[in-house]
Amino acid sequence: MQVDLDRIAKLGAQAGTRVAPMEQGGLYQVVISETGMSPDAIPVDLFSARLHAAISGLPTATVELNDLGRVLYLSRAYELARVCYELAAKDERAIGAQINLGQCDLRLGRPHDAEIRARFLLETNASFVPGWQLLGESLVAQGHFTEAVQAFQRAVSITTGHSVLYALLGDANECAKDYEAARMAHERALNLDPHDIRSLATLIYNKRRLCDWSGLDDLSARLKVALANGTREISPFAFLMEGASAAEELACARAQATKVHAMAQTWPMAWAPFVAPARGGKLRVGIVSCGLGAHPMAILTIALFEQLKGSAVELHLFSTGTPSKGTRRQRMIAAAYSFYEVSTLSPRELTEKVRETGVEILLEIDGYCNGRLPQVAPFRAAPIQASWIGYPGTIGGEFTDYLIADRFVLPESLSSHFSENVVYLDRCYMCTDPTRVIGKPPSRELCGLPPSPGVVYACFNASYKLNPRSFARMMRVLQRVPGSVLWLLSGPGRADERLREAARFIGVDPSRLVFMETLLHLPYMSRYRHADLFLDTEHYNAHTTASDALWADCPVLTRPGETFATRVAGSLNHHLGMQEMNVLSDDDFVAQAIRYGRDAAYRTAMRAKLIRQKQQSGLFDVAGYARDFVALLMRMSAHYRAGGVPDDFRNHDEDSLAGP
């Protein structure tokens, strides 16, 4: 989970609100307005000098300094706000200024300073709730999640009616991976403030993760109403699980992109126009992701990057994830023209780093995955910016020019619900690493599975992708295939227990649900040798997991829907030539799964076909993918250099200009 430092005590207005200069008097007029500059453009030393001159000779200006600091804070001019609060804090009675000073330190990337300030305040008053809040926030920002939970627990024990404190406690518990406690805290926050949409969205996501489906339909309906009413507090990634339409997903993404764009606008950056390299030079492509190491994204992309090493593309990788030393990371470093560890850089610093390399095409591939936000695209880090392979939906912002897809996963009929101009590969948009070896698994007995010939249905999707609809159709299959079991990935908290309870309620023996603990990638892949058929989920398909299953010779049964996230497994099957595994309805899904389980000859034939199609279809032909991928990037470059704009880009080779 990405730490969200904007969930702070209410300062009388929503964080991020811009206050028009003409509405301000007093110190604002004297110190800022007369410069003719916006707050984010005033150098700190000039501001400090003007501020000191303005208050010189005044017996006290504590209130005025706090007021000006608040305006600057809400305008995200944190350095200037800090100057105000530091002066105000010289008045020993101005305890609020001390807290606000700590909040500025947090937003300026100085959480340790904020922690020291909080502990100092608590030494003299152990019941000072804002001090515990500041301490908790500073500890979260430093990754000390258990201590942060304790700080927020202390705060809510002192004052039990503060919804923001419960929300912060929930966030800290989520960071500490105590999702049951996070669910309870966000539930409490929502009960105290029914209009807290962020707590509503987070509560829903955690309930899905914990397979706690009680009251979920009503909560989800409230979320959609809030979206229709214009909220910007919903994570587009979490919203993919809500069974929304493509139009609703676009609205959610646009709301988030508006926030991101506004944040970028507070940091204007001068940028010289892009100058194309000499004719014949390689095309510089930058990729920004947290998944360039021990991450599923690396499994999808590593072999492709190795293919690109000798191509017309010069690959620059920017890793925003935690540095690692694994084999995949080393392969990434070896494949790239340059590899940058940038996890400690701010979005602005990262943008400057990307620009320094002179990349012409930027692929920021994480999008909104797992609560993340686009970090560099909003600043226009490259002349061409595209979304690819990571986030299965629209970014919703004008700062992303293209989205790379295929015509199955994103039919042209859906393209109107994407802010990006959709460009198509003539193959499945998802690549993978075909060099992986599928090892021998432990025995069925050691895996907790029944002896052969009991049929093993598998679904190794994350628990948040399960829902009553998906689970009910899986149970219908088990009821009709004697001796079969459903093999699931073990979830957090009481998720497994709740699924067993749900099976019992439906009339299925809970012992027919077998749970696999999270494993390293190679041992996990070997388990597919025991799986007969992968049963997919609604409303968020198996994506990387479906690719894993197919590579390990396990067919995937799915029902493609009407959004990107519901069509990924279907795209893999389509391009593999396994159309039988793409069905139109839940009844068809159940019927096909039952046939697969009861007809041994059909099972054998389908597995044999899958193995054959892996060799013949091109789905796992990474060299072919690399050729098509490079050709598409070159066409995008040629279109840009010829003065074209994304909306004019054509999706056919014969209509495009030659590449550089």
Tell me the average pLDDT across 224-242.
Answer: 95
H-helix or E-strand spanning residue 477: helix 468-480
Q: Say which residue, 13 or 500, is predicted with more confidence.
A: 500
pLDDT at 14: 28
Strand-pairing partners, residue 289, are: 319
Tell me the average pLDDT across 43-56.
Answer: 86
**CB distance 151 to 27 below 8 Å:** no
pLDDT at 8: 37
Tell me the average pLDDT across 90-116.
Answer: 92
Residue in 208, 214, 244 with CA at minimum distance from that of residue 226: 244
pLDDT at 38: 74
| In the chain, ranges of CATH 3.40.50.2000 domains | 456-616
For the stretch 137-178, pLDDT in tens is 999 999 999 999 999 999 999 998 899 999 999 999 999 999
How many CB atoms within 10 Å of residue 177?
Answer: 12
CATH topology assigned to domain 456-616: Rossmann fold (3.40.50)
| Per-residue tokens: 210 | 């914990």
Supply φ then ψ for residue 544, to 5 degrees: -60, -35
Sign of CA dihedral 579, 475, 493, 446: negative
Tell me the average pLDDT across 109-133.
Answer: 95
Exposure of 159 by Cβ count < 10 A (0-12 exposed, 13-18 middle, 19+ buried)?
Answer: exposed
pLDDT at 261: 84
Q: Spelled out in words, what is the top-level CATH class assigned to the domain 269-434+621-660?
A: alpha beta
At 215, the pLDDT band (50, 70, 90 cuts) reads very high
pLDDT at residue 103 is higher than 90: yes
At 533, the pLDDT band (50, 70, 90 cuts) reads very high
Distance CA 219, CA 196 (A): 12
Helix intervals (H) in 409-467 = none
Compute the chain's Rg from CA coordinates.
27
Grouping H, G, I as helix, E, B as strand and the rest as coil, residue 407 is coil
Grouping H, G, I as helix, E, B as strand and the rest as coil, residue 491 is coil
pLDDT at residue 5 is higher than 90: no
What global pTM score does this model have? 0.90
pLDDT at 27: 79
**55-59, 208-212, 585-589: the lowest-pLDDT one:** 55-59
CA distances from 558 to 409, 578, 607, 619 (A): 13, 11, 16, 17
**CB distance 249 to 227 below 8 Å:** no
pLDDT at 17: 31
Quote the mean pLDDT of the chain. 90
Which DSSP symbol is given to 657? Answer: P
**CB distance 79 to 114 below 8 Å:** no
Residue in 503, 489, 477 with CA at minimum distance from that of residue 597: 477
pLDDT at 278: 56
**CB distance 165 to 149 below 8 Å:** no
**245-259, 288-302, 469-483: the lowest-pLDDT one:** 288-302
At 589, the pLDDT band (50, 70, 90 cuts) reads very high
Residue in 420, 313, 361 with CA at minimum distance from that of residue 641: 361
For the stretch 325-357, pLDDT in tens is 888 889 999 999 999 999 988 888 899 999 999
H-helix or E-strand spanning residue 560: none
Tell me the average pLDDT across 4-30.
Answer: 42
Across the beta sheet with 421-424, what order do the strands follow? Answer: 338-341, 313-319, 283-289, 361-364, 384-388, 402-405, 421-424
Helix intervals (H) in 311-401 = 327-335, 347-357
pLDDT at residue 580 is higher than 90: yes
How many CB atoms within 10 Å of residue 316?
Answer: 21
Q: How many residues does the chain have?
A: 660
pLDDT at 274: 67
Exposure of 581 by Cβ count < 10 A (0-12 exposed, 13-18 middle, 19+ buried)?
Answer: buried
Grouping H, G, I as helix, E, B as strand and the rest as coil, residue 482 is coil
**Letter for the amino acid at 613?**
Q
Distance CA 619, CA 27 (A): 65
**CB distance 343 to 319 below 8 Å:** yes
Tell me the average pLDDT across 554-561.
Answer: 98
For the stretch 250-290, pLDDT in tens is 999 999 999 888 877 766 666 666 666 655 689 999 999 99
pLDDT at residue 604 is higher than 80: yes
Strand-pairing partners, residue 392, are: none
Exposure of 78 by Cβ count < 10 A (0-12 exposed, 13-18 middle, 19+ buried)?
Answer: buried
H-helix or E-strand spanning residue 248: helix 246-265
**CB distance 561 to 589 below 8 Å:** no
Distance CA 585, CA 560 (A): 9
Distance CA 198, CA 216 (A): 16
pLDDT at 276: 63
pLDDT at 375: 86
Distance from chain centroid for Cα 341: 19
**CB distance 379 to 269 below 8 Å:** yes
Across the beta sheet with 533-535, what order do the strands follow? Answer: 513-516, 485-489, 456-459, 533-535, 556-557
**9-13, 245-249, 574-578, 644-648: the lowest-pLDDT one:** 9-13
pLDDT at 269: 63
Grouping H, G, I as helix, E, B as strand and the rest as coil, residue 585 is coil
| In the chain, ranges of CATH 3.40.50.11380 domains | 269-434+621-660
β-pairing, 338-341 with 313-319?
A: parallel
pLDDT at 655: 42
pLDDT at 445: 96
| Per-residue tokens: 48 | 């400090």
Distance CA 73, CA 120 (A): 23
Tell me the average pLDDT across 122-140.
Answer: 96
Residue in 362, 347, 382 with CA at minimum distance from that of residue 271: 382
